Amino acid sequence: MHQHADLDGRHGALTLGSNHVRFALWAPDAQTVSVVTAKGLSMSMLSHSDGWFSLEAQCAVGTHYKYLVDNEFEVPDPASRFQSNGVHGHSVVVDQDAYNWRCQNWQGRPWTEAIIYELHVGLMGGYSAVKSSLPRLADLGVTAIELMPLAQFPGERNWGYDGVLPYAPQCSYGRPEELKSLIDAAHGLGMGVILDVVYNHFGPDGNFLHTYAKQFFQDDKKTPWGDAIDYSRTEVRDFFIDSALMWLLDYRFDGLRLDAVHAIDDPTFLEEFSQRVRAGCGEDREIWLVLENENNEARRLENGFNAQWNDDGHNTLHVLLTGETDAYYANFASNPTHKLARMLSEGFVYQGEATRNGQQRGEPSGHLPPDSFVLFLQNHDQIGNRAMGERLAHICPTPALRAATVLLLLSPMIPLFFMGDEWAADEPFLFFTDFHDELAAKVCEGRRGEFADFSAFADEQQRERIPDPNALSTFENSKPAFKDAYQEIGESAHSDWVSFYRQLLQIRHSDIIPRLHGCKALGAEVLADKAVTARWRMGDGKTLRIDLNLSQMSLGIDVDPTALLLFFYLSQRRNSAAISATLRRISHSGNMRHRDLAGFHPHP
């Protein structure tokens, strides 16, 4: 790792003591750079031969500043620790050591204990509002929350994947100390906090690196978001790794979920990333590193990363639950029951096979433990990337969704569910942004154009119904009604769902998590169309067996009479879904008794 002697490899403004700040900017295309404050003070930075500019100066915490490049244009600090007024505003000097942590001894939880609740901070009302929801989530059985990206993005509202300042927590959600208080409170309840980070691209508004650091990008390699980031450069690698360490050390996040790493065009960066991040955090801390990776590179999960979001699992279950086979679901339309069995037994569905586009995808994954895969029925992508943002509760029958939920929460894979899943929220989760003028029009047009491959929106007039991402109403309509769902007064379909989740998570805590370390899949079999049975040898030598039936036909299965029945779900409706989870000693053999798993018709 290249480090300049007086810069120690770190970007941005770092406090060195009382009223003493060191500024550092990598600007290889600039001739001169100055720090200019909001009060009009200008301080020239020292130029170094490797493209760095630095300055140590008397400067108070809270100072608002920008960089003046070549006496022509002012830009925010690309490693700003906080922005006063969005991506075009002043950067703010932050003392990361000022917060007084209450949970001083928190070292995290083992990955096998993860039960992840993904949420959007803005929709919940900001850092303080999320903090107030933590006791409810802890009572439900959640052991970790995952925050959608916080890096400063343009405007007041955004999913977070348009961030341009990867060190600065979004200012419209609250101040840095409020984010730290949220994490501190989570630790006090025994909950971890994961941050979704985007290191594969910058958003379309507010990124000024092209003006003074063109070498940050590769103009001969394009991505869906423009020129690819050049990870062959030490300064670029340091920029993102230092950002990751900032979130883990200064804010004490417990883990990171790396967005779309298949879009990072460097085969060595991820390995260096995991090594340096884990070394920087020390051996005593439990640090969770999770990937989103369309390439299904199983080797990544053997070397430095805990797990990968299992899109194959979601896509297979989605086809079985809804019958939808448009767009990317087409890769899972053929023999989805066999794909489900393979996923439960081996992790990935695609392990080198060709997709519908003829491209080989994936690597063998059957040797990996089940906790190498994060399973979900829904996440922000799989709801929000629907044109109208509908949740599964509104596009598939309740019995099927409940049966799939049992599979999600009791299988040895790491479960993740999205805010509102636990009460079958009525509100959609739509794609929203806060762009303006020409960019807003392009984003709206692009959003609607994405659905041309879907039969329901093949006609341009039909696509006009898709909500404008920039309309305030699109954001407001996506706010989940937490208060209504968790009211203790009376019974409702929503409160019944909450009780269902709570019951299943209690079983996971008592019977799955203690046995999860050392778990190994023993295989899965197709019983009939839309029906499978799967088994795992748990860490204590017992066998977990799950039988799932989403078919139209009732099926007979053999059940060990001495096995401990963990859970059995059978809807009272005719043609209903059924699922059972049993736990027995692997060495036991004896008479088996017969049980019917009633069938379920997949369309309401």
> Active-site positions?
259, 292
Q: Which two tokens stand for residue 132?
A: 């107030």
In whole angstroms, what is the distance from residue 415 CA to residue 417 CA?
7
Q: Which two tokens stand for residue 405?
A: 């939920």
For residue 266, the tally of other CB atoms under 10 A from its CB is 17
For 357-387, the three-class secondary structure string (H helix, E strand, C coil) is CCCECCCCCCCCCHHHEEECCCCHHHHHCCC
Phi, psi at 15, each rounded to 5°: -75, 135
For 102-141, the three-class secondary structure string (H helix, E strand, C coil) is CCCCCCCCCHHHCCEEEECHHHHCCHHHHHHHHHHHHHHC
Distances (CA, A) of 392 to 75, 181, 270: 44, 33, 34
Phi, psi at 169, each rounded to 5°: -65, 135
The region that residue 43 occupies, defined by phi over 0 for left and psi between -120 and 50 for alpha, beta otherwise, is: beta
The secondary structure of residue 588, as a DSSP letter, is: -
In whole angstroms, what is the distance from residue 372 CA to residue 306 CA?
6
In whole angstroms, what is the distance from residue 355 CA to residue 332 CA?
9
In whole angstroms, what is the distance from residue 553 CA to residue 136 CA?
39
Residue 222 host element (H or E) = strand 217-223
Report residue 43 CA to chain centroid gap: 40
How would you label 432-441 residue by residue, b for 16+ Cβ within 10 Å and e otherwise?
A: bbbbeeeebe
Length of the chain, in residues = 604
Coil/strand/helix, residue 13: strand
Contact 408, 377 (CB under 8 A): yes
In whole angstroms, what is the distance from residue 261 CA to residue 166 CA?
16
Q: Which two tokens stand for residue 516?
A: 């999860």
In whole angstroms, what is the distance from residue 106 CA to residue 108 CA?
6
Contact 419, 184 (CB under 8 A): no
Contact 198, 243 (CB under 8 A): no
Residue 263 host element (H or E) = none
- Give the residue carrying structure tokens 């093949």: 458
